[in-house]
């Protein structure tokens, strides 16, 4: 009987550890999908949200740093690796644009913004801490529907031949 007690405690410890790990993964699972188009709402490019405003409104865009990748060991010709900070006032708009030639990622530092993407049947809300991937097959526009200024960090592989558009996220 004495040997059964340590085994029982070991089983309970294992069960508690398994429950803790399972709970941690369950808590993290929704966060991994936060700020992305729901899987059942992903549609072919052009079948989602329709083109929006053509002009920016209440958005500042500052290139913080860029690296000419042709001068790096990778030697990727015609691309800048660029980091920008965008601030969108309440009601601010980043106009309709495409990422077919310019993959990017947006990190939401603060605030909340809504994305209207050509490949999603519903608007996508992005909140503080979300990362929004922007890649081939994505055309979209963004709006700050909140009451505070939203701050975003954008990194992209900007084609050097493209006209610098400070509002194309």
User: What are the pLDDT digits (tens) for 102-151?
Assistant: 999 999 999 999 999 999 999 999 999 999 999 998 899 999 999 999 99
140 and 85 within one domain: yes
Question: What is the Cα Rg of the chain in Å?
Answer: 22
106 and 141 within one domain: yes
55 and 14 within one domain: no
Burial call 102-135: b when 16+ CB within 10 Å, e when fewer: bbbebbbeebbbebbbbbbeebbebeeebebebe
> Is residue 166 included in any domain, yes or no?
no
pLDDT band at 165 (very low <50, low <70, confident <90, very high): low
Q: Quick one: pLDDT at residue 162?
A: 82
74 and 28 within one domain: no
48 and 29 within one domain: no
Q: Does pLDDT of 5 surpass 90?
A: no
52 and 16 within one domain: no
Q: What is the mean pLDDT of residues 31-52?
A: 85
Average pLDDT of the chain? 83
Of the candidates 102, 99, 114, 112, which has an alpha carbon nearest to the alpha carbon of residue 49?
Answer: 114
pLDDT in tens, 46-103: 999 999 999 999 999 999 999 999 999 999 999 999 999 999 999 999 999 999 999 9
pLDDT band at 169 (very low <50, low <70, confident <90, very high): low
Domain count along the chain: 2
E strand map for the chain: 57-68, 79-98, 104-110, 112-117, 124-127, 131-134, 139-143, 150-159
pTM score, whole prediction: 0.75
CATH number of the CATH domain containing 70: 2.60.120.10
User: What domain range includes position 27?
Assistant: 4-33
Q: Does pLDDT of 14 surpass 50?
A: no
């Amino acid at each position: 009987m004495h040997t059964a007690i340590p085994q029982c405690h070991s089983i309970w410890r294992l069960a508690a550890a398994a429950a803790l790990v399972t709970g941690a993964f369950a808590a993290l699972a929704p966060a991994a999908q936060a700020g992305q188009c729901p899987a059942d709402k992903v549609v072919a490019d052009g079948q989602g949200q329709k083109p929006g405003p053509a002009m920016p409104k209440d958005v500042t865009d500052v290139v913080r740093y860029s690296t000419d990748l042709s001068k790096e060991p990778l030697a990727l010709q015609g691309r800048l690796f660029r980091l920008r900070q965008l601030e969108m006032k309440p009601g601010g708009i980043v106009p309709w644009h495409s990422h077919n030639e310019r993959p990017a990622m947006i990190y939401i530092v603060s605030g909340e913004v809504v994305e209207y993407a050509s490949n999603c049947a519903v608007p996508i809300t992005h909140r503080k801490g979300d990362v929004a991937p922007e890649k081939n097959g994505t055309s979209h526009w963004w709006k700050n529907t909140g009451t505070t200024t939203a701050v975003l960090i954008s990194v992209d592989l900007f084609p050097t031949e493209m006209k610098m558009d400070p509002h194309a996220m």
